[in-house]
Amino acid sequence: MSQSRTHNCNELRMENVGEKVTLCGFYDNMRRVSKNLGFLILRDFYGITQVVVETEEMMEALSGVNNESTLSVKGVVRERSNKNPNVDTGDIEVVPESIEVLGSCIYNELPFEISHSKEADESTRLKYRYLDLRNPAVKDKIVLRSRIVSELRNSMNARGFLEITTPILTCSSPEGARDYLVPSRNHPGKFYALPQAPQQFKQILMASGFDRYFQIAPCFRDEDARADRSPGEFYQLDMEMAFATQEDVFEVIEAVLPPVFEKYGIYKTASKAPFKRIAYRDAMEIYGSDKPDLRIDLVLKDVTELMGDCGFGPFEGNTVEAIAVSDFSASRKVIDKICQDAEVVSGQKSYWFRIDENGEIVGGIAKFLQEKKDEVIETLKLKAGDFVGLNSGKKADALKGAGVLRRFLGQACEGHMNKESYEFCWIVDFPMYEIGEESGELEFCHNPFSMPQGGIEALENKDPLDILAYQYDLVCNGVELSSGAVRNHDPKTMVKAFSIVGLPEEAVKEKFPAMYNAFCYGAPPHAGIAPGVDRMIMLIAGEESIREIIPFPMNKMAQDVMMGAPSKVDEQQLKDVHIKIAKEDME
C-alpha cells in the first residue's frame, strides 16, 4: 500500500493537465449524478480538488464509504469543462484510476456538518474538536496563530533577545490568582505549583547577567473564563531587559507589534510609534476605563455641579458623569437597548436626554433639566440632534458606568468610531497602592515587584495612596493586552514596599528567597512586559471568543470535554503523592 502524495489538494493547475497524480485527503462530499457518474470533493489541509468518477464499478466501490473517511486517489489530471473560479483548483479535475480507503469513518452521521461546525453548540464543538478543526474556517485560525507566533519570535530574535524557557514545576507565588498545585511524590505534604507567569525567573535571569530575554511562555491560573480569557492555560510574549527604563520597553513593543497586526489583521492599519501615553487617573476621568478604546472619539465630562441638584433622585449627593454624542437620532427602542446592555456589563443604571430640532431638552430625564436648559446646553456645547448619556453614583461607580456606556454609544453611533484600525495606547503612572474592595486594607494596586516612582524616599515620606509606580498596561481597541513594570531591583526598597502592606522583612525573604538573595548580589535595573498571545491573535483575527484561536481550549467551566479533564485517578496514584480525598469532597 502506498500513501505517498505527488501533490496536495490545492496544488494542481492547468500546467498539470495530462499528468498522473496521487492525492490523499478526506472524503468531503460527493454529488452522484447517475450510477456511473459522480463528482467527489477531496479535501486536505491545503484545499480541495474535484475527482470525477466515471465508471459504475468505482461508484459502487464508494457506495459504502462515509463522509470524512480518508482516501488515496490515483488518476490523471484534465481540464474542467465547467470551471469554478471560486476555487484555486477550479480549472482542473482528476479522473481516478483507483481509489483506496486509508481510514474509514465508521459513522453514517457526523455530530455536525464539517463546513458548518461553527454553527454547532460550543459543547459539541469542543467534544469533537478533531472534527471541528477539519473545518477550513476553524483550521485557518490555528494556522494564523502559528504564523503570528513565528513572526513575533523572529522579530524578538532580530532585536537581540535570547529565547530562554523557564520551569513549569515551581513554587507557589502570590500573582493575584489561584495556583494549580502539583503534589510531590518524594516530598510528602509539599506541592509544586504551575507558574502563573515566569515573573521571578525572568528577573533572576537579569540578575544572572542576561541582557535581553523572551519566550512564548505558558502560564497557568485557576480563574474563571471570559470571552477574552481562557481558563487554566494561556500564553504570553514574555520579555525582560536589563539596564532598561520604561521607555526602552515601550520602544521594543512599538516596533514589534504594529507590523504583525497590520500584516495579519482584519484591519490593515495600526498605531505607529510612539503610542499615546495616558496616565491611569486621566484614563479613568476621560474615558471611564483603564483600557479605553481609542477608536471611539467620545469622552466623559463631570457635570456634578451642574446637575447634582436638579431634583433627580439618583443624582443627589452623587457624582454625575455625562457623554455628549453629536447627531445621534436613534429611536427610543435603540436607546433603551444601549442603556440596558451597558447596565448588564457595569451594574450601573444609565440615563439620557437629547436636544430636539427646536433646541429643547427632551426625552429621558429632560423634565428635571428645564430650569437649567441654557446652562446645560452651553456647558456640554450641545446643538439640535445631539444626545447625552449619563451615569451617577460614587465617583468610581459613576466613572465605570459611564465608561461602559461610552463604549456602547461609540459602537452604535455613526461617525464616532473608527472601526477599521488597531489603536494602541499605554496606560501609565498607576498608583502603587490602593484600598482593597474586599479587605478594606492597603494593598498593592498592580505588580508588587514594581519600582515606586521616587524610590525608597517616596515609600518613606509620602502617603502610600499618593505614590505612583513605574507600571504600565498595553491596551489595544479596548482590550488589555499586557501589564508590565520597571522592577524593584533593590532589596531595601523591596522590603520597604512590602512592609507598607504589612509584610515584614522576614516574610519577604521567606516568600521570595531566590529573587531577594539574587538582588543582594547586585542586580541591574530591569524592566519588562508580557503581552498576551491569545488576546493578540483574537484581536488580529477579529474573533469575539478567545476559544476560537486556541487549538484545544477548555470550556467555560475549565473542562476539557474532549479528553475528559479534570478526571478521577485511582487510589494507588493518590497514595503515590500522599493524597487522601475526604468523602464529603466527592459528593
CATH code of the domain in which 366 resides: 3.30.1360.30
Q: Which of 47, 82, 103 is the last residue of a domain?
A: 103
Residue given cell 459522480 in the structure block: 38
CA 7 to chain centre: 37
Residue given cell 452522484 in the structure block: 32
Q: Confirm whether 280 is domain-assigned.
A: no
Same domain, 233 and 325: no
- Give the phi and the psi of residue 515 in degrees, each rounded to 5: -70, -40
492's grid cell: 531595601
* CA distance from start to end of the chain: 53
The reported pLDDT for the residue numbered 436 is: 86
9's grid cell: 489538494
What angle, 0 to 180 degrees and rounded to 10, lies between the N-to-C axes of helices 246-264 and 136-158? 140
The rounded distance, in Å, linking the Cα atoms of 351 and 337 is 12
Q: Which of 366, 383, 417 is the last residue of a domain?
A: 417
Same domain, 194 and 70: no
The reported pLDDT for the residue numbered 584 is: 59
531 contact partners, CB below 8 Å, separation of at least 6: 236, 237, 253, 257, 474, 481, 482
Q: What angle do CA 263, 265, 271 make, to 5 degrees?
A: 80
**Closest by CA position to 175, among listed 504, 511, 467:** 511
152's grid cell: 513575533
Q: Confirm whether 491 is domain-assigned.
A: no
The reported pLDDT for the residue numbered 1 is: 45
Is the backbone peptide bond immediately before 167 cis, with ω within 30 degrees of 0? no
Q: Confirm whether 128 is domain-assigned.
A: no
Q: Which of 364, 392, 417 is the last residue of a domain?
A: 417
Question: Judging by beta carbons within 10 Å of its beta carbon (0-12, 13-18, 19+), is residue 545 exposed, middle or buried?
Answer: middle
The DSSP H or E segment spanning 236 is strand 232-242
Q: Return the CATH number at 71.
A: 2.40.50.140
Same domain, 141 and 252: yes
The reported pLDDT for the residue numbered 224 is: 80
Q: Return the CATH number at 558.
A: 3.30.930.10
The rounded distance, in Å, linking the Cα atoms of 175 and 96 is 60
256's grid cell: 514589534
The reported pLDDT for the residue numbered 3 is: 62
Residue given cell 484545499 in the structure block: 47
Q: Confirm whether 224 is domain-assigned.
A: yes
Q: Confirm whether 56 is domain-assigned.
A: yes
**Side chain identity at 314, as an amino acid letter?**
P
User: Half-sphere exposure of residue 310, counting CA atoms within 13 Å on the CB side?
Assistant: 24
The tally of domains found in the chain comes to: 3
Q: DSSP letter for 275, please.
A: P
The reported pLDDT for the residue numbered 586 is: 57
Same domain, 144 and 237: yes
CA 364 to chain centre: 36
Residue given cell 443624582 in the structure block: 315
Same domain, 146 and 265: yes
Same domain, 315 and 219: no
Could you read off the pLDDT tens digit of each residue along the chain, which spans 587 residues?
A: 456 899 999 999 999 999 999 999 999 999 999 989 999 999 999 999 999 999 998 998 898 899 999 999 999 999 999 999 999 999 999 999 999 999 999 999 999 999 999 999 999 999 999 999 999 999 999 999 999 999 999 999 999 999 999 999 999 876 567 899 999 999 999 999 999 999 999 999 999 999 999 999 999 998 887 767 778 899 999 999 999 999 999 999 999 999 999 999 999 999 999 999 999 999 999 999 999 999 999 999 999 999 999 999 999 999 999 999 999 988 999 999 999 999 999 999 999 999 999 999 999 999 999 999 999 999 999 999 999 999 999 999 999 999 999 999 999 988 899 999 999 999 999 999 999 888 889 999 888 889 999 999 999 999 999 999 999 999 999 999 999 999 999 999 999 999 999 999 999 998 889 999 999 999 999 999 999 999 999 999 999 899 999 999 999 899 999 999 999 999 999 999 999 888 655 55
**Side chain identity at 65, as an amino acid letter?**
V
344's grid cell: 448588564
Same domain, 214 and 333: no
Q: Confirm whether 43 is domain-assigned.
A: yes
Domain that holds residue 394: 296-417
Rg (CA), the chain: 30
Q: Confirm whether 413 is domain-assigned.
A: yes
3-state secondary structure of 373: helix
Same domain, 164 and 267: yes
Same domain, 335 and 405: yes
33's grid cell: 449524478
Verdict on whether the full-model pTM lies above 0.75:
yes
517's grid cell: 538573595
The rounded distance, in Å, linking the Cα atoms of 164 and 377 is 59
**Closest by CA position to 485, among listed 533, 444, 424, 535:** 444
Q: Confirm whether 408 is domain-assigned.
A: yes
Same domain, 260 and 309: no
Same domain, 146 and 257: yes
The rounded distance, in Å, linking the Cα atoms of 127 and 104 is 20
